[in-house]
Amino acid sequence: MKMFITRIVIALRNFQQWLVAQLAFGLLNFLKIFPADPAIRFADRMVRRIGPKLKKRHNLMLVNLRNAYPEKTDAELEEIAIASWGHMGRLAAEYVFLDRLFDFDPERTEPGRVEVSGAPIFLDLRDNPRPFIVFTAHTGNFELLPVAGKAYGLEVTVMFRPPNNPYIAKKIFDFRASRMGALVPSHAGSSFSLARRLDEGGGIGVLVDQKFRKGLKTNFFGRPVQTNPLVAKLVRQFDAEVYPARCIRLPDNRYRLEIEPKIEMPRDENGKLDLQAVGQLLNDKVESWVREHPEQWLWYHDRWHIKRYL
């Protein structure tokens, strides 16, 4: 009897996940009816209205913002939070048009939808293979960065965290794999796949602003956080070069992709890599990006692990 009830519970949970996935795919397929620009603007407006009604998640965003910007008024924080919801709507809609959005052509004289800053770095990494790590954060449409790499012929193995819903996860994986190259889902063995790629003299891409329960003790916006030590450990093992990269949303549904020159890794007095200082360096870079465009970061992430107190 107990086993029978367990099977029913599992079946109901699977059905619920399947139903959520079908609703999500149905909405995205609906957006395909329209050209990219009106579809993206529609998703922005819709999620700006829906997001604040998700009280627990919206409250988490406001607490995060209040902790990060104690000098701002409640009205200013609310404005950033609603704008952040809008950018999440844009991110979802942009999935539908992702392969059409990247139109950068270095030979074109007129600006397109996407502009690229640091293109010579892309080309140098492609033409002079060596172990390297490109790190980014959940800012702008961060999914466009590996698309740009592939467009330049730069093969980068990208680690990503799949959604909890298995039906959505499979759809997104298939979609990403056809446009971004090699993908490594984030799980217990993912570090070995990334290490193998670096050992072969190739490059990897990682997001560094996700919540991590056991990691390097660092600060982010002046508050303590645990930072994943993966990048620091891979640099120590393979002496890989490290490059910051980000996407910035511009007016009129345009984008700027930036890859910055490699950053020097901090070392201790004996010349050994300082893992904690590396983690802090990554946080400081991401914080500088977020402070520049706070509405373009996903504030609903529980980066500071405070949801349990809400």
Cut 0.85: pTM above it? yes
- The 10s digit of each residue's pLDDT in 22-58 is 676 666 677 777 788 999 999 999 999 999 999 999 9
pLDDT of residue 10: 55
Residue 7 pLDDT more than 70? Answer: no
pLDDT of residue 17: 61
Q: Higher-confidence residue: 180 or 71?
A: 71
pLDDT of residue 219: 95
CB burial readout 126-159, b (16+ within 10 A) else e: eeeeebbbbbbbbbbbbbbbbbbbbbbebebbbb
